[in-house]
């Protein structure tokens, strides 16, 4: 599979005054809709610009879905400090704001964590892990072009036709081209199919708001994703994702508020 290297899909062209032009890459789209985590990575790339800082947190409002193709990225530095820099980063298309994000930049720590309490999960996907490139899994087809993704079938009741399993999923992911980097770690926080698949609610589940905390640079190898929801009220649901690298470091914590179809399809 000839996937475009992930960082190459985040190319930006400076236009001056903190404004950049970019092209939303079709490899990171589901139909015409670019993946939400990919949009966060692109906004963060613009916020970093040519500097050496890294995103520490990203909080984004998804106002309307853009389409694959050209976009404008506008950034505004709100604070530049010795520890953190705050940047507003906005993605526009056809004169409309699509995603509006607040991004905190700083230095990611390189030392080992002083404390860590993370769920246990095998470093590599076990033999019975299901490859999400298989169309029978109802995975988003655009993402399997760019990522190798496997899911623990014991957590995915929807694979068995069940609608009563807990809303918890366990997955493994890595890019087809290259190794995960900081911005791919950010993408991984939004890489899973909606956890509400375990309720039988398939179809588009748009993210309304997403906040991601980047905690460390990912090591080479598989990223482990632990995904769960605490409550589903009507169409609204929350989704929390922990992203853990091959050495056991926490790479990203993401929480989003999203909408799901109210009924499972007949």
Q: What tens digit of pLDDT does each residue of 125-143 get?
A: 999 999 998 766 655 555 7
- The most confident of the ranges 75-84, 142-151, 257-266 is 75-84
Q: What are the CA-CA distances from residue 173 to residues 80, 188, 232 (Å)?
A: 34, 8, 26
Residue 32: what pLDDT?
83
Mean pLDDT along residues 122-126: 97
The model's pTM is 0.94
Tell me the C-alpha distance between 22 and 73, whole Å: 7
**Does 13 have pLDDT greater than 70?**
yes
Tell me the C-alpha distance between 214 and 43, whole Å: 14
Least confident of 69-78, 91-100, 177-186: 177-186
**Does 21 have pLDDT greater than 70?**
yes
Q: Which residue segments constitute the domains of the chain, with CATH numbers given? A: 6-106 (2.40.160.210), 130-259 (2.40.160.210)
**Does 204 have pLDDT greater than 70?**
yes
Q: Is 16 exposed, middle or buried (0-12, 13-18, 19+ CB in 10 A)?
A: exposed
Give kind and range of the element (H or E) at residue 106.
strand 96-106
Residue 142: what pLDDT?
59
Q: Is 255 exposed, middle or buried (0-12, 13-18, 19+ CB in 10 A)?
A: middle
Say if CB 171 and CB 177 are below 8 A apart: no
Mean residue pLDDT of the chain comes to 92
Q: In this structure, what is the dihedral angle of CA atoms 32, 33, 38, 40, given to the nearest 10 degrees?
A: 140
| Closest among 256, 260, 263 to 59, alpha carbons compared | 256
Least confident of 75-89, 141-155, 197-211, 224-238: 141-155
Q: What are the CA-CA distances from residue 95 to residues 66, 72, 129, 186 (Å)?
A: 11, 9, 44, 27
Tell me the C-alpha distance between 74 and 90, whole Å: 5
**Does 3 have pLDDT greater than 80?**
no
Tell me the C-alpha distance between 250 and 116, whole Å: 8
What is the tens place of the pLDDT at every residue in 28-69?
A: 988 789 999 999 999 999 999 988 999 999 999 999 999 999
Residue 133: what pLDDT?
86
Tell me the C-alpha distance between 62 and 41, whole Å: 14
Beta bridge partners of 149: 173
Tell me the C-alpha distance between 133 and 148, whole Å: 8
């Amino acid at each position: 599979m000839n996937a475009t290297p992930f960082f190459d899909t985040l190319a930006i062209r400076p236009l001056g005054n903190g404004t950049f032009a970019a092209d939303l890459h079709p490899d990171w789209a589901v139909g015409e809709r670019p993946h939400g985590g990919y949009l966060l990575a692109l906004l963060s790339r613009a916020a970093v610009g040519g500097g050496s800082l890294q995103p520490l947190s990203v909080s984004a409002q998804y106002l309307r879905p853009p389409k694959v193709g050209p976009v404008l990225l506008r950034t505004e530095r709100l604070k530049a400090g010795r520890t953190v820099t705050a940047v507003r980063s906005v993605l526009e298309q056809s004169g409309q704001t699509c995603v509006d994000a607040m991004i905190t930049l700083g230095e990611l720590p390189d030392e080992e964590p002083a404390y860590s309490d993370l769920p246990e999960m095998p470093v590599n996907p076990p033999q019975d892990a299901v490859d999400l490139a298989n169309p029978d899994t109802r995975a988003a087809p655009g993402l399997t072009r760019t990522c190798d993704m496997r899911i623990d079938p014991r957590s995915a009741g929807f694979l068995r036709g069940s609608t009563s399993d807990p809303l918890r999923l366990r997955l493994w992911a890595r890019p087809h081209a290259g190794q995960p980097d900081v911005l791919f770690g950010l993408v991984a926080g939004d890489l899973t199919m909606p956890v509400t698949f375990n309720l039988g609610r398939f179809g588009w589940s748009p993210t309304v708001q997403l906040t991601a905390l980047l905690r460390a640079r990912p090591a080479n190898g598989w990223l482990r994703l632990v995904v769960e929801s605490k409550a589903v009220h009507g169409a609204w649901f929350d989704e929390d994702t922990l992203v853990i690298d091959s050495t056991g470091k926490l790479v990203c914590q993401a929480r989003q508020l999203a909408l799901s179809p109210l009924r499972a399809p007949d």
